[in-house]
Structure 1
Amino acid sequence: MDILRFITAGSVDDGKSTLIGRLLYDSKNILIDQLEALEKQSKNKNENGVDLAILTDGLRAEREQGITIDVAYRYFSTPKRKFIIADAPGHIQYTRNMITGASNSQLIVILIDARQGVIEQTRRHSIIASLLKMKNVVVAINKMDLVDYSEEIFNDIKAQYELVAKKLKLENVNYFPISAFNGDNIVSKSEKTDWYQGSTLLDFLENVEINENQEKENPRFQVQYVIRPQTDELHDYRGYAGEVISGIYRKGDEITVLPQNIQTKISKIETGGHEVDFVFTNQPAVIHVEDDIDISRGDFLVKTNQQPKVENELEAVVCWLDKKELNEGNKYFIQHKSKTLKAIIKEIEYKIDVNTLEQTPITESIKLNEVVKVRLKTASPLVFDSFEESKSTGNAILIDETSNSTVGAVMIL
């Protein structure tokens, strides 16, 4: 089974945590002891006598205040697919949490309170979805029970959001009238919305297409570990272990080792301790090459005719995650998957307003949660694709040299 990673986003009290709790509860993914603990802790009880929101709100402060502060991850599965859900905070000051949660997601579920319609936070999260090149957007119009399941209100909010989606060039937008509190149209169809002819939310999530044609993807493999046992029985064994980031690798393929730019061929591929003829996206593998080449952790093995960029100056969009301010000339480590290099901020070109996507000039230091376009210079060449071409090889993080804290989320342009 494949895995769908998705994130829920919306304003405070739109029902994100309750929606996830409902998905887990109605799909029978809650253990009996969890259910008993849930019943004891529930204050805001539904008809089942439980408050489903506290399934995801794990911090004490979250439960006391009834809000989500940190990104909470939950896992569940159905006979058709496995799911990893990120529940993002709705507060403006936790925008950075939402960006980090969304950067690894294939789909975003934006909740809208049926009583409120499209508000500023809806637009902000939609802009972040646009910035992160999210290919699938679900608009869940929640709390339909509080507006008497009105088709007119649903259609009005849908029309409001269509204007936002058109402006941001969001594609594949799907709309659902739901009540997370009562479970309408989430796992099972609701009789109260007989005017709605679409599928349930879970049915859509089980069937939405997430894997593009792997034959068309540019093959990318980054070495995470060099296996060199040096034992009597494996005296000459040298394999390069990692995960296939994208595309397909076959025995006999002509490849280039980057950043060294040395050509060779794949002589053998292993996965799960067995030799195979090919490996594909998301598979762990050990690749062997014909020639004796100095290949280290962080190097890329790519198809010779489908190469990424190899540069030590790059342009990027950075979401700033640290309380310490960002200034031109600051030095950091940049971590690009398993490769870590020293980097310097050469120039901060402009700030991106996350409410409008407009570019504004820099008048002061960059503060927590702000998004900027920068020019970076790395100590040695970096192997990358643009974020638009490949999320996997187009993202990185900035790390503070002294504290080792992650201070910036990087989308390479």
Structure 2
Amino acid sequence: MAGQESAYRVDALVAEDIDAYLAQHQAKSLLRFITCGSVDDGKSTLIGRLLYDSKMIFEDQLSALEADSKRVGTQGQNIDFALLVDGLAAEREQGITIDVAYRFFATEKRKFIVADTPGHEQYTRNMVTGASTADLAVILIDARKGVLTQTRRHSYLAHLIGIRHIVLAVNKMDLVGYDRQVFDRIVADYRAFANSIGIDAFTPIPISGLGGDNIASRSAITPWYSGPTLIEHLETVDVDIDAVATEPFRMPVQWVNRPNLDFRGFSGLIASGTVRPGDAVRIVPSGRTSKIARIVAMGGDLDEARAGQSVTITLADEIDCSRGDLIAAASAPPEVADQFQATIVWMDAEPMLVGRAYWLKIGAQMVSATIQEPRHAVDVNTMAELSVRTLELNDIGVAEVYTDRPIAFEAYATNRDLGGFILIDKITNATVAAGLLSFALRRSQNVHWQSIEITRDAHAAQKGQRPKLLWFTGLSGSGKSTIANLVEKRLHALGKHSFLLDGDNIRHGLNRDLGFTDADRIENIRRVGEVAKLMTDAGLIVLTAFISPFRAERSMVRSMFAERDFIEIFISTPLAVAEERDVKGLYKKARAGDLKNFTGIDSPYEEPEAPELIIDTTAMSPDDAADLIVRTCLA
């Protein structure tokens, strides 16, 4: 019996020790950092070494790592630490990093989450992803190669994204004989570049990821270096993680929590500031105000919540608040605007199309946005501002961004969560760019919607018809204008009020300044869509006959109208048939090379995927087609 009591006491002591350890571990501060640089600078090896030296590798992992190292050719007692991090099969086969690998480790003083980001230029998008949440960047440089273009690009991006703590890790010092002059020369070269982009201070450390020199412990082979080891610096660097808690309160609403009729809360991650029950708040962009009733978390109600916490907030009043709205301090709300200047990092293989509508996602807000012609792009080697018409893969440029409705935001330099965004292609759903909002354009604050008493419905009632847009699309020579003209004649005979916007006619006036590049075609359709919207607001049935080759722009125009008010009519004619007709002689010129960017020849036509009507001109006469369209649009 006495022995059993003794065992209970031992178990209790062990439990107390575990609880104390867990409490101590939980109280440690967290540092998020990235490793970046050029290809084969040793980023994955460095992270593997950090995991190894911090005792974060289990015995079975270590055995597998030693076996893998022998299989890939590592000799002697050395371990290929990069294999710990390079998880994709393609990475192991090629010996490169493709994806962003996140790893957790801890020391006695601090917890860490490190992102191993790719060095290859085509994977710069992944580097931006890893840097977006980091407090510190470790820029690796191969001591044999010095400062390279990708080193400059990653340093510029890290600084641009707001990382203010930079470690310059000059790696592979073992391959240059731990030569101090090599180290000093690289540091001097990097300092000259860093100063040119606004990096005022950085911490240079000579290391060897393979040998472990100056990573967890000071190396005797570099007696000329007196600075901290990499781990020492990571453990002690002050990232001022509580500073954001002193900013005005902001919480983007990610979810309206309504488990039953007695509870309605708004869930999200607090982006900045501190909030308490009773605090006055404002819903942005609507501007409605209320007070905090409760702050609900996993363990129960809280008396206070700070930046970085995920909570559910209830309000004292039943006011409209939805996903994408922002709950903010009533006395210091964020700005609201629909036109901005932004820095854009283009990440897609296809170049940016000026004027094309992309989805812009900023926090929980998703809006449609168009990008104007860039003011300039940045040469990461010289920091020169380059005159460009568009942005291509890995380009960094400054441009104006217009959204289809006002959004709540703050400059990225003030708040990453409310100033950083991504652009998404509406057709492919691919993320094509990341951006940083700088400021709202002044004209966005000076232009307001004017309330007009005679509404669209009043205009429609006066004319006794439902306004609609009949959008004819198809190849040149398909018969769009012919059929649209017949349709309007029938509508006129029926006493309907209509107007036909024809592609060629519009280019004689409103769009005479536009050519036939993809960007000009996009702007051509955007303007026509806006004019057509105004005409339907006046109560008219509008017909448009345009090639309109891109689905994205037809979708953009469709989004301006109610579901039943936009009728897409695909005039389906095979290219060979359209080219055989060639009434205007345009195909002949295009085939001869005298007419560039001609749809169907050297510029694509994207057929509609779900049009309201398909007119096959090889099986239906123009008159029969017109009759079918009139019956459909008046139904």
* TM-score (norm. length: structure 2): 0.62
Pick closer, same or farther for the CA change 1:407–1:366 going to 2, 3 Å: same
Partners of 1:407 and 1:162 lie apart in 2 by 32
* Equivalent residue, structure 2, for 1:2: 29
Contact 2:326-2:408 within 8 A present in 1 as well: yes
How big is the shift at 1:352? 2.3
Partners of 2:363 and 2:212 lie apart in 1 by 39
Partners of 2:275 and 2:222 lie apart in 1 by 49
Secondary structure at 2:90 match in 1: helix
- Which of 178, 186, 190 matches 1:161? 190
- Which of 350, 354, 359 matches 2:376? 350
Partners of 2:111 and 2:222 lie apart in 1 by 28
* More displaced 10-residue stretch of structure 1: 193-202 or 376-385: 193-202
Partners of 2:115 and 2:417 lie apart in 1 by 18
Contact 2:246-2:272 within 8 A present in 1 as well: no
Higher share of residues assigned helix: 2
* Equivalent residue, structure 1, for 2:330: 304
Partners of 2:194 and 2:371 lie apart in 1 by 33
* More displaced 10-residue stretch of structure 1: 117-126 or 24-33: 117-126
Contact 2:253-2:266 within 8 A present in 1 as well: yes
* Equivalent residue, structure 1, for 2:207: 178
* More displaced 10-residue stretch of structure 1: 85-94 or 293-302: 85-94
Cα RMSD for the two superposed structures: 1.9
How big is the shift at 1:314? 1.6
* Equivalent residue, structure 1, for 2:103: 74
Partners of 1:97 and 1:175 lie apart in 2 by 25
Contact 1:9-1:125 within 8 A present in 2 as well: yes
- Find out whether 1:11 has 2:38 as its counterpart: yes
- Find out whether 1:28 has 2:55 as its counterpart: yes
Partners of 2:259 and 2:149 lie apart in 1 by 57
- Find out whether 1:397 has 2:397 as its counterpart: no
Compare relative contact order (CA 8 Å, sep 6+) and give the higher one, 1 or 2: 1
Q: 1:147-182, CA deviations, whole angstroms, 9 ceiling, x for partnerless residues?
A: 232333322322222222221211341111111000
How big is the shift at 1:395? 0.5
Unaligned runs of 5+ in 2: 1-27, 439-635
* Equivalent residue, structure 1, for 2:351: 325
* Equivalent residue, structure 1, for 2:80: 51
* Equivalent residue, structure 2, for 1:217: 247
Contact 2:245-2:272 within 8 A present in 1 as well: no
Contact 1:387-1:394 within 8 A present in 2 as well: yes
Pick closer, same or farther for the CA change 1:3–1:332 going to 2, 3 Å: same
- Find out whether 1:104 has 2:104 as its counterpart: no
- Which of 103, 118, 135 matches 1:89? 118
How big is the shift at 1:47? 5.7
Contact 2:196-2:383 within 8 A present in 1 as well: no
How big is the shift at 1:104? 2.1
- After TM superposition, the runs of 4+ consecutive aligned structure 1 residues lying more than 6 A away are none
How big is the shift at 1:207? 1.9
Partners of 2:210 and 2:75 lie apart in 1 by 6
Pick closer, same or farther for the CA change 1:169–1:366 going to 2, 3 Å: closer
Secondary structure at 1:96 match in 2: helix
* Equivalent residue, structure 1, for 2:627: none
Pick closer, same or farther for the CA change 1:47–1:293 going to 2, 3 Å: farther
How big is the shift at 1:402? 1.8
Partners of 2:45 and 2:217 lie apart in 1 by 16
* Equivalent residue, structure 1, for 2:505: none
Partners of 1:142 and 1:369 lie apart in 2 by 25
Aligned identity (percent) is 45
Q: 1:356-389, CA deviations, whole angstroms, 9 ceiling, x for partnerless residues?
A: 33221124x4322222222222222111111111
Secondary structure at 1:238 match in 2: strand
Partners of 2:409 and 2:317 lie apart in 1 by 24
Larger Rg belongs to: 2
Contact 2:362-2:417 within 8 A present in 1 as well: no
* TM-score (norm. length: structure 1): 0.93
Secondary structure at 2:417 match in 1: coil
- Which of 384, 396, 403 matches 1:371? 396
How big is the shift at 1:97? 2.4
Contact 1:46-1:181 within 8 A present in 2 as well: no
Secondary structure at 2:416 match in 1: coil
* Equivalent residue, structure 1, for 2:93: 64
- Find out whether 1:204 has 2:233 as its counterpart: yes
Contact 1:226-1:296 within 8 A present in 2 as well: yes
How big is the shift at 1:220? 1.4
How big is the shift at 1:45? 2.7
Partners of 1:168 and 1:370 lie apart in 2 by 16
Contact 2:295-2:313 within 8 A present in 1 as well: yes
How big is the shift at 1:141? 1.1
* More displaced 10-residue stretch of structure 1: 208-217 or 322-331: 208-217
Amino acid at match of 1:388: A
Secondary structure at 1:229 match in 2: strand
State the number of aligned residues. 408
Pick closer, same or farther for the CA change 1:23–1:317 going to 2, 3 Å: same
Pick closer, same or farther for the CA change 1:245–1:48 going to 2, 3 Å: farther
